[in-house]
Structure formats: structure tokens, C-alpha cells
Amino acid sequence: MSAFGTLETPVGVVGIVSDGVAITRVTWRSAPPEDATAQSDALLAEALAQLAAYFAGTLRRFDVPVDLGVQTAATRAVLTALHGTVGHGETITYGGLAARSGTDVPARGIGSIMGANPVPLIVPCHRVVAGDGLGGYSGGDEGRGLETKRWLLEHEGALPTSLF
């Protein structure tokens, strides 16, 4: 059984699932998934503390273990490259991440992989942008994906703060 906890953030309620060994999900939801309980474990408590520190501006890199679940080799390579090489305050284009991952995934495919990322924020898919703008984002409260992406990038200093 997995443990589930939530954190109120400037971009909505973030839910985190831990199996006690790794963080397996990060979602924008306040109700636990069917396979999780509201009980905590030490790893979940650490992940919640790290997320709180990230949103407070005092944490720049998460160091909790993550489990990406069942993925293709290409998807795992792309998410691993993102997690290991694109730091706080940096962005990379979909095409740039495709090249950096060493896979033959086209830039459009990178967008699909970002949308299926099981641990957003910790594996920072919000840092992947289009060559001509923000691109998409499936995180955040329903219907607020791009607003959430922009807030996260502004928070990290990767984008200037919006005037409006």
C-alpha cells in the first residue's frame, strides 16, 4: 500500500504518493488515488518538506528517490536526462531534450512524454519549452496548465515576472 499526502501551494493542491522506497506520483489532487492511504511514511514526509521548501524559494534541487514506473527505454532515457541535466532556473526545448537524451524521439514525442511524467515538479517537465514559446503543460489545476507552467518558470527565474 502506498502513502499519500498533500501540500497547498501557490499553484494548487499538490498530492504526493510514496511507496516507502520512492516517490511514485506527484499530482494536482487532494484525494488519494485508490491504491494509496492518507497515512504518511518518512519518505513522504521528506518529499512534502522538500516541496514546501521549493515553493518557499529555499530548495533548488529535489533529492528524494523517484520511481518512474513501467516506461519504454526511450521514455525513461528522456525523463532521466531531464531530471539529471536541466537545473533550477534553466529551460530546454523539446528538440534540445530529444537530442540530449540520446534517443531518436522526435520533438513532438517529447511533449507526449512530458505529459505522461508521473512525478512532475521533481522531474521538472515544466522546464521543457517550445522553440517559439512556452509549449504545453498538463500540470496544475484543470484548465490552468500554462498559467501553472509560467508561474513555476517565473518562480525559478527562468522567465521574467509577468506584468499582468
Query: Mind listing the pLDDT tens digit for each residue in 71-106?
Result: 999 999 999 999 999 999 999 999 999 999 999 999
C-alpha to C-alpha distance for 74 and 120, rounded to whole angstroms:
18
The answer to whether 9 touches 43, Cβ cutoff 8 Å, is no
Q: Are residues 52 and 78 in the same domain?
A: no
Residue 160: pLDDT band (50, 70, 90) is confident
Mean pLDDT (the chain, rounded): 92
Which pLDDT value is given to residue 40?
Answer: 76
In a domain, 9, yes or no: yes
C-alpha to C-alpha distance for 127 and 150, rounded to whole angstroms:
10
125 a catalytic residue: yes
Q: Are residues 97 and 148 in the same domain?
A: yes
The percentage of residues in the chain with a pLDDT greater than 70, rounded to a whole number, is: 96
- DSSP structure string for 72-93: -HHHHHHHHHHHHH--TT--EE
In a domain, 63, yes or no: no
Find the catalytic residue in 3, 82, 125, 128: 125
C-alpha to C-alpha distance for 62 and 46, rounded to whole angstroms:
10
The answer to whether 119 touches 96, Cβ cutoff 8 Å, is no
Q: Are residues 34 and 89 in the same domain?
A: no
Query: Mind listing the pLDDT tens digit for each residue in 10-40?
Result: 999 999 999 999 999 999 987 777 776 667 7
Q: Are residues 42 and 7 in the same domain?
A: yes
**Counting Cβ atoms within 10 Å, is residue 122 exposed (0-12), middle (13-18) or buried (19+)?**
buried
Q: Are residues 10 and 48 in the same domain?
A: yes
- For residue 111, what are the domain limits? 73-155
Q: Are residues 51 and 79 in the same domain?
A: no
Query: Mind listing the pLDDT tens digit for each residue in 107-157?
Result: 889 999 999 999 999 999 999 999 888 999 988 888 899 999 999 999 999
Per DSSP, 131 falls in state T
Q: Are residues 85 and 127 in the same domain?
A: yes
Q: Are residues 49 and 99 in the same domain?
A: no
C-alpha to C-alpha distance for 29 and 156, rounded to whole angstroms:
23
In a domain, 136, yes or no: yes
